Amino acid sequence: MSEKEYMLQKDYDRLMQELERLKKKERPEVIARIAEARAFGDLSENAEYDAAREHQSFIEGRILQLEDRLAKAIVINPDDLPKDKIVFGSRVILYDLDEDREVEYTLVGKDADYSKKEISVYSPIGRGLLGKREGDVVEIKVPSRTLRYEVQKINPQDD
């Protein structure tokens, strides 16, 4: 088994729901489509059959991927994390010294959604923030430039 994958409970639940949907709904539907397409006869020129088989391959691949990720998952409860330094699951408010504005992020795993103010701990910014404390000034090199942040608050929802 390869490296463990840290994730928040909400991310674990979302992956588990996707896995259940694929296994209980989409897999049986595509199997029925394949059986129906087979009934049309010559499979060598049957576009419906080819499309159903391709979709089945995608579903089976995604199921394997989800099962692997869930098997490696270590679910992190943000309530159990240290509040005095930035770690996986921390919510942080930073002051961007170059842009003269505040930014907010929650550090999550691979499935970060920037539109929800999430950033992956595997990204340059996420890696640069890990272990920092309130008041620290952080310089993070990204491909286009060096970002400079001052850590304002860690887990501000706890205030």
Region class of 131: left (phi > 0), else alpha (psi between -120 and 50), else beta: left
Specify the amino acid at residue 150. Answer: E
Taking the C-alpha atoms of residue 91 and residue 81, their distance in angstroms, rounded to an integer, is 11
Q: Domain containing 133 — which CATH number?
A: 3.10.50.30
Q: What is the pLDDT along the chain (159 residues), one digit of tens a residue?
A: 468 888 888 889 999 999 999 999 999 999 998 888 888 776 667 788 888 889 999 999 999 999 999 999 999 887 787 888 999 999 999 999 999 999 999 999 888 998 999 999 999 999 999 999 999 999 999 999 999 999 999 987 544
Q: How many domains does the chain have?
A: 2
HSE on the CB side for 159, CA within 13 Å? 9
Whole-model pTM?
Answer: 0.73
Let me know whether 86 and 142 are in one domain: yes
Domain boundary among 27, 47, 76: 76
Let me know whether 150 and 85 are in one domain: yes
